[in-house]
Amino acid sequence: MIHSLSLADVVADHARSRPQVTAVVDGDLRLTYPELDARVTRLAGALAGAGVAGGDRVLWLGQNSYAVLELLLACSRLGAVFCPANWRQSEDELRFVLSDLTPSAVVWQPSDLTTALRAGAARTPAWIQAGDEYERLLADATPREFAQVADTEPVLALYTAAFSGRPRAALLSSAALVAHATQLLVVRQMEPGFTFLNNGPLFHVGTMMFCLATLQISGTNVFTPAFDPQEVCRLIDAERVTQAFLFGQMIDAVTQANAGGKYDLSSLRFVSHSAEWDDMITVDDSPWCRSKMGGYGQTEVGGMLTFLGLAEGGAGFAGRPGPLVQVRMLGPDGEEVPAGEVGEICARGKTLFSGYFARPDVNAVKLAGGWHHTGDLGRREPDGTITFIGPKLRMIKSGAENVYPAEVERALKTHPAVADAAVIGVPDPTWHQAVKAIVALRPDAQVTPDDLVEHVRGLLASYKKPRHVEFVDAIPKHGFTPDYDALDRAHGGGNYPGI
């Protein structure tokens, strides 16, 4: 255990090494690291008193709050697993999470949704209301010491998007979260004094990973319930925020909210966006730009796996792997595919998750051969950088060759006449399957099937080109992903290997 460093250990050291630094700001609440450390110990005691034992789950039903970080750290001290639920989900979806995760304690913010969930839930878990009840429990907890918890134990469960069926809870250990945070410190050159505004959802790894990197470098985490442009401006000004979770339209909304220049946003070091925005903030044009988010990631790798900031004008727009992971493009046989060819992005290293909660069958498949199979396709470019191709939803087997729909779709979409495209496999007596393209054209565009086939042949190996092309008005979708089952039914797909 001499090598163990849990999230709670990180805070325990900050309490000693940075006694004057503000760790948490949320409304009127301000906590230094020693105060946070002491509250985390009391909260761990309160949870233990409410029946939470090592390995048990604690569920948060609510918006962003200081309590999310405190509960995560208290679970770390106690050896339990914390899950911040996605509060944007429906009652049915949250009911699934409750039954899937079987938490021993639920900490909830009152709303119509949580009230309904609580009324319908089994009586088993302890329900603790955020706010007064939470604070009372914390104040009443008997101070006690906790035995060291191995940092290889899971401490955070994040439900990840499911393309089909129900979501799964990815389990992340303290070791993985600390490693991922450290990797962000390296790639973003984060420093003590970093002040992060948690305005993105903490149930998503994108915000959580910056919250934890800020913790790791003994910075200040500022919490706000959800994205409100006016409040974001006020908090950046009041807390001299150096970084926030902002993209595209969110940046426009913040710029508009501060159009009169009421708030001083100059503490924010951010990527250039528009003339108005650049005038308000401090533009960070260093290669280490703290707010540049390019790369490839997913919850299962702890957040980011590859970083554009490590690619310096490379060919692949997903950049290069972080210093604490290994990445390989593997074929269906588990062997590495050569540079320039598409394979499944597979990963190994310090930041990786520990499998999904209570899904031994899925874990065996995803972690086969000692590599995590991301379910996404990528290509290693000759300069070593990585291109993300798309999700590996299924594979077409044409003769001895493997064809991934996402790669052919990408090629089709580079044709100026194509608005959208999806690729399926149709049964073929000679080749087992043949590649079929379903294509929606741009308004008034004129193109023949042969034109498109030739276009793809110019970009990819010949066996990947479609043998059949069918035009439709629109591709049916599940969110951003083609509804392949509907496409198969409508256009004769089927006979996929392994399905």
Q: Out of 372, 415, 436, 464, point to the residue binding a copy of itself (CB under 8 A).
A: 372
* Closest among 151, 171, 189, 3 to 83, alpha carbons compared: 171
| Phi, psi at 424, each rounded to 5° | -125, 170
The reply to whether 365 sits near a copy of itself by the rule CB under 8 A is: no
Q: How far is the CB of 231 from a copy of itself (least distance, A)?
A: 31
Distances, alpha carbon 391 to alpha carbons 372, 422, 482, in Å: 15, 12, 11
**Which stretch, 72-80, 120-128, 290-298, 363-371, contacts a copy of itself (CB under 8 A)?**
363-371
**Which stretch, 11-19, 95-103, 402-410, 443-451, contacts a copy of itself (CB under 8 A)?**
11-19
Q: Out of 25, 367, 434, 439, point to the residue binding a copy of itself (CB under 8 A).
A: 367
Q: Out of 212, 352, 408, 423, point to the residue binding a copy of itself (CB under 8 A).
A: 352
Size of site (CB under 8 A) for a copy of itself: 57
The reply to whether 118 sits near a copy of itself by the rule CB under 8 A is: no
**Which stretch, 105-113, 114-122, 365-373, 450-458, contacts a copy of itself (CB under 8 A)?**
365-373
Name residue 297's beta-bridge partners: 304
131: burial class by Cβ within 10 Å (0-12, 13-18, 19+)?
Answer: middle
Q: How far is the CB of 32 from a copy of itself (least distance, A)?
A: 11
How far apart are the C-alpha atoms of 149 and 476, rounded to whole Å?
Answer: 48
Name residue 171's beta-bridge partners: 157
Q: In degrees to the nearest 10, what's the CA dihedral of 300, 302, 307, 310? A: -130
Long-range contacts of 93-96, Cβ-Cβ distance < 8 Å, separation of 24 or more: 93/167, 94/61, 95/120, 96/166, 96/167
* Closest among 414, 429, 423, 497 to 466, alpha carbons compared: 423
Q: How far is the CB of 175 from a copy of itself (least distance, A)?
A: 7
Q: In degrees to the nearest 10, what's the CA dihedral of 118, 57, 219, 180? A: -130
String of contacts with a copy of itself for each residue 197-236, x by CB under 8 A: -------------------xxx------------------
Q: Out of 349, 405, 425, 482, point to the residue binding a copy of itself (CB under 8 A).
A: 349
Q: How far is the CB of 387 from a copy of itself (least distance, A)?
A: 13
Name residue 402's beta-bridge partners: 397
| Phi, psi at 268, each rounded to 5° | -75, 120
DSSP 236-289: HHHHT--EE---HHHHHHHHHHTTT--S--TT-EE----HHHHHHSEE--STT-
Using CB under 8 A, which residues numbered 135 to 174 contact a copy of itself? 148, 152
How far apart are the C-alpha atoms of 458 and 464, rounded to whole Å?
Answer: 11
String of contacts with a copy of itself for each residue 305-334, x by CB under 8 A: -----x-x-------xx-xxxxxx------
The residue (of 1 and 499) whose beta carbon lies closer to a copy of itself is 1
Cβ atoms within 10 Å of 164's Cβ, excluding its own: 9
Using CB under 8 A, which residues numbered 245 to 304 contact a copy of itself? 287-288
Q: How far is the CB of 459 from a copy of itself (least distance, A)?
A: 23
Q: How far is the CB of 401 from a copy of itself (least distance, A)?
A: 24
* Closest among 72, 302, 297 to 176, alpha carbons compared: 302
The three-class DSSP label of residue 495 is coil
The residue (of 237 and 381) whose beta carbon lies closer to a copy of itself is 381
Q: What is the DSSP letter of 336?
A: B
Q: How far is the CB of 453 from a copy of itself (least distance, A)?
A: 33
Q: Out of 185, 315, 426, 447, point to the residue binding a copy of itself (CB under 8 A).
A: 185
The reply to whether 382 sits near a copy of itself by the rule CB under 8 A is: yes
Q: How far is the CB of 307 from a copy of itself (least distance, A)?
A: 11
The residue (of 235 and 367) whose beta carbon lies closer to a copy of itself is 367
Query: Residues in the site for a copy of itself, rule: CB under 8 A?
Result: 1-5, 9-10, 12-13, 16-20, 148, 152, 175-176, 178, 182-183, 185-186, 189-192, 216-218, 287-288, 310, 312, 320-321, 323-328, 339, 348-350, 352, 367, 370-372, 380, 382-386
